[in-house]
Amino acid sequence: MPTTDKPPSLFNKIKRNYALLTLPLPFILWFITFTRPPFGFWPTLALSTGILLVVSVPRMRKIKFQPTIRGLVIGVALGAALFALFYFGAQVANSIPGFPAQVSSVYSLRGNVPLWAIAGLLLFPIGLGEATYWQGIILSHLDKRLKPWAAAILTSFLYTIIHLPTLNLSLMLVALVCGLAWSFTFNKLGKNLFPILVSHIIFDEFAFVLFMIP
């Protein structure tokens, strides 16, 4: 007797496409964070990334997170290299009209939040939340449907355009380059999130706490 496959239930469809169904959330959260932060920029960004971390929980068991010496070295080297790229690139680009103002506008978001508090928030939940959501959840999902290079580019593009509300081209360029570096490295290293998280934290701490981009 012939058998027919039953169409997937609504629950299974939602479960299978869970990552994509969460995508409107970062767009909403980043719009609020950069245009109308109810608690100030850094606390609101921490809340936003914390929410992304929470919505990532149903998929966390599938994320590969293996701390290794090799992963630590790669993560530190990649984070430092990305910072060096933008640090020295900014000195060249400072001659471009409007560029210094765009960079300074990013640091002006600090408000009255002390550096030690920003440093702590960059460790948790900001660094962990962004790496887990974008590489651990979104990229891992797209990798199953697209070629790895296409999934990495699409993930980086999405990570870039959530920064559109800033109207800050320099910040969007940073998001694009870092997104590409983290996404391609994630795939290259067997989808291990550990070096990506290390790189994310190193770059953020260098750029927003320790040295800052001139």
Total-model pTM: 0.93
Q: 162: helix, coil or strand?
A: coil
Residues 6+ apart with CB under 8 A from 191: 64, 140, 143
Q: Where are the domains of the chain?
A: 18-210
Contact 82, 156 (CB under 8 A): no
Higher local confidence (pLDDT), 152 or 106: 152
What are the structure tokens assigned to 176, written together?
């694009």
Above 70 in pLDDT, residue 6? Answer: no
Contact 148, 186 (CB under 8 A): no
Above 70 in pLDDT, residue 71? Answer: yes
* DSSP count for the chain of H helices, then E strands: 12, 0
Count of residues for the chain? 214
